[in-house]
Amino acid sequence: MVRQILILFSSLCISTFSIADSAIFTMDYSKPQGHRGTFGFGYYDFKEDKLGLYMNLSLAMRGSNHYESLGINSFGDPIQNRYKESLTFNIGATKEVTKYIGIYAGIGFTSIDGIARKYDSSHILSSSGYYSVSDPANDSSGFNTNAGFIITTSPVSFNLGYNSFTKTAYIGIGFKATGM
């Protein structure tokens, strides 16, 4: 599923860039707050004197030693920690405030997978003893609102945004490209 979303997102960015006045591409990061930290990327099209389009995507990178086939109660190993991994996709409108500052706001969808970190004292499932399994009781999904602003000092851009569903802020750095 993640692969299909990444392909769709990349295709939309490429096709939209061909008609853009100028576009900003960013790489973003959000610090963990009850969730595993996420990495993402975004495409922001700022147009002079009219609304533009943006799309961004963020996802948590699953850690090693994760076993999809094991249930939460497998082997009776104790749960050490619970956390959440999220995937968020947003689309919305951009507005150029000044030549160097742009704002954006939109809606999206977030899917959250609950994860339980367990400890195997026999060290069978991992050399450290720690491994993770899916925790479906903590899964959730829903609509997200997203907003932020970008400061551009050509060609470098800085992004600061917020996702409502996960209640997390993110920062990013990117570059500005001019349309063809």
- Give the helix/strand (H/E) hosting 112: strand 101-119
Residue ranges of the domains in the chain? 2-178
Which DSSP helix (H) or strand (E) runs through 80? Answer: strand 79-96
- 18 pLDDT band, cuts 50/70/90, is very low
**Main-chain phi, psi angles of 38, to 5 degrees:** -120, 155
Residue 17 belongs to what H/E stretch?
helix 2-17
- Indicate the fold that domain 2-178 takes in CATH: Porin (2.40.160)
Q: What is the C-alpha separation between 179 and 176, in angstroms, rounded?
A: 10
Rounded CA-CA distance 15/29 in Å is: 25
- 44-96 pLDDT, tens per residue? 998 888 999 999 999 887 777 889 899 898 888 999 999 888 899 999 999 99
